[in-house]
Amino acid sequence: MSDPIGQAISDFYKNGTAPDILINTNYTEGEILPPAYFFRTWGEMPKIEKTAIKNCQGKILDVGAAAGSHALELQKQGFDVTALEKSELAAAVMKKRGVEKVVCADVFHFKETGFDTILLLMNGTGIGQTIDGLKKMLLHLKSLLNEGGQMLIDSSDIHYLFEEEDGSLWIDLANDNYYGEMDYELVYKNHSTQFKWLFTDLETLAKTAGEAGLNCQLIEKGEQNDFLVRLTLG
């Protein structure tokens, strides 16, 4: 299976540099993601990520941990954190960087329970891929939480992509397919992969969380239509 992000993370760790990852979607093309971004320090993290880390408590599960930046920061603060990552290459890099608990698995195959905080950052809703997939993911993660536990998850409302200069929209946001269900293609060197990736508005995330039996509390809004919420057992 092609793994552009994992390969880019592995190359950057080995060489200290790596070419950008190219991102094409059904709405955009030619965007880039520098592999160095996966290795950001506390000082380089966006405000929303810092707020999420500051709101962590107890035993933590970091879902989609990539190169382990969040897990390493939490570990440094003395937390018991498990880094969950399905990319074997990225998981190997985390171990080399000093993340003590690394599990290489898909989120739906991870069954360990007893967590007080489940962290899903870098557009955590994306892991669900679709609205139905997000609900399924939240129901699964809910079963891993201790009583009184929380999920901290971020996303972005991308409706601005469809606005004309006069404020009108060039697509119907009320059509059958939710506008935040995007088709993604990632390309790195000769590695490429295609998948769905989900961005949600706050109201849709709260509604989906509610259907999964979770309460949704807005913690912080970012500067680019992004936001962080806390989900707790209803």
pLDDT at residue number 176? 63
Q: Is residue 178 scored above 60 in pLDDT?
A: yes
Q: What is the pLDDT of residues 88-114, one digit of tens each?
A: 999 999 999 999 999 999 999 999 999
pLDDT at residue number 147? 96
**Nearest alpha-carbon partner for 128 in 58, 214, 192, 199:** 199
Q: What is the pLDDT of residues 27-71, one digit of tens each?
A: 888 999 999 999 999 999 999 999 999 999 999 999 999 999 999
Burial of 124 (0-12, 13-18, 19+ CB in 10 A): buried
pLDDT at residue number 160? 72
Long-range contacts of 48-53 (CB under 8 A, 24+ apart): 48/121, 48/154, 48/220, 48/222, 48/226, 48/227, 48/228, 49/121, 49/122, 49/154, 51/219, 51/220, 51/228, 52/119, 52/121, 52/152, 52/154, 52/219, 52/228, 53/77, 53/119
Locate 14 and state its tokens: 């080995």
**Domains of the chain by start residue, with CATH:** 4-233 (3.40.50.150)
Average pLDDT of the chain, as a whole number: 94
pLDDT at residue number 173? 53
Q: Is residue 167 scored above 80 in pLDDT?
A: no
pLDDT at residue number 149? 98
How, if at all, do strands 81-84 and 226-233 pair? Answer: unpaired
Q: Is residue 230 scored above 80 in pLDDT?
A: yes
Q: Is residue 175 scored above 70 in pLDDT?
A: no
d(CA 152, CA 40): 19
Give the model's confidence band at 168: pLDDT under 50 very low, under 70 low, under 90 confident, else very high: low
pLDDT at residue number 162? 67
pLDDT at residue number 163? 65
